[in-house]
Amino acid sequence: MIELSHIEKRFGDNHVLRDISLTLAEGTVTALVGPSGGGKSTLLRCINLLEVPTSGAIRLGEERIEFAPGRKVGWEAIQKLRRQTGMVFQNFQLFPHQTAIGNVMEGLVTVLKWPAGKARARAMELLEKVGMAHKAEAWPATLSGGQQQRVAIARALAPSPRVLLCDEPTSALDPELAEEVVEVLSRLAREGTTMVMATHDLRLASRVADAVVFLDGGVVVEEGPPRAIFTMPERERTKRFIASLSAPQSYDI
């Protein structure tokens, strides 16, 4: 379970997140949606402490950390929480000097100190899962954007994290390549992988998520099942956001 309690985040005078409290059940997929600058990516990055909240508390599994202005969080506490997460970034961030399988193995060998043979077997298992086993020895520069993102997903899954965090996983891809990634994430969702994703792609949110959280101005405006949020929103701000989107009839909900 992920529990966010009264999360606040400030960058100087910029108040990015305001008193956000959410409980995200294990085995579910939560999509954070909303306009650019609404706080969804910052909130996602607070979960694994790539951004440290100004105040509030985060519980992930058995680990709980409280934050307050001027209170420094110890590196050991950060690492205990961060080890339970896998992160998929918008722009893939594969190591260009490593093959696809090398990218997936890297954290297992370097951070977790796995033997190379065990790490390679785990990496091949995950590349198979994301449909990239046939490109195991390919260099990132030779892969399409969709293929690179699928390798990045395999890399994030390698240490068996409690939760997979995805920051705009399809936004750098054209629709055809994005569909490859949506299909992989859909399969992971069906297998019970716990995921939290910040996304502008409402097709992804509607197909994969169990719950949608709409953020604007650093606050949770509305939350609920995808069908409710995308077709019957209660809040006027949510209605305006959904109405502003093109081709709403294309959502698979």
**pLDDT tens, position by position, 152-193:** 999 999 999 999 999 999 888 888 888 889 999 999 999 999
pLDDT bracket for residue 218 (50, 70, 90): very high
CATH topology of domain 24-52+70-84+163-253: Rossmann fold (3.40.50)
In the chain, residues under CATH classification 3.40.50.300 are 24-52+70-84+163-253
Query: What letter does residue 252 receive in the DSSP assignment?
Result: -
pTM of the model: 0.90
Task: Give the list of residues 6+ apart from residue 16 with CB closer than 8 angstroms, or none.
Answer: 9, 10, 39, 42, 218
Q: What whole-number distance in Å separates Cα of residue 240 and Cα of residue 74?
A: 42
Query: Partners of 66 in the beta sheet?
Result: 57
Percentage of residues in the chain having pLDDT higher than 90: 74
Task: Give the list of residues 6+ apart from residue 165 with CB closer than 8 angstroms, or none.
Answer: 44, 47, 48, 85, 86, 87, 88, 156, 195, 196, 197
Yes or no: say if 95 and 106 are a contact pair by the CB < 8 Å rule: yes
Q: What whole-number distance in Å separates Cα of residue 203 and Cα of residue 4?
A: 26
**pLDDT tens, position by position, 25-45:** 999 999 999 998 899 999 999
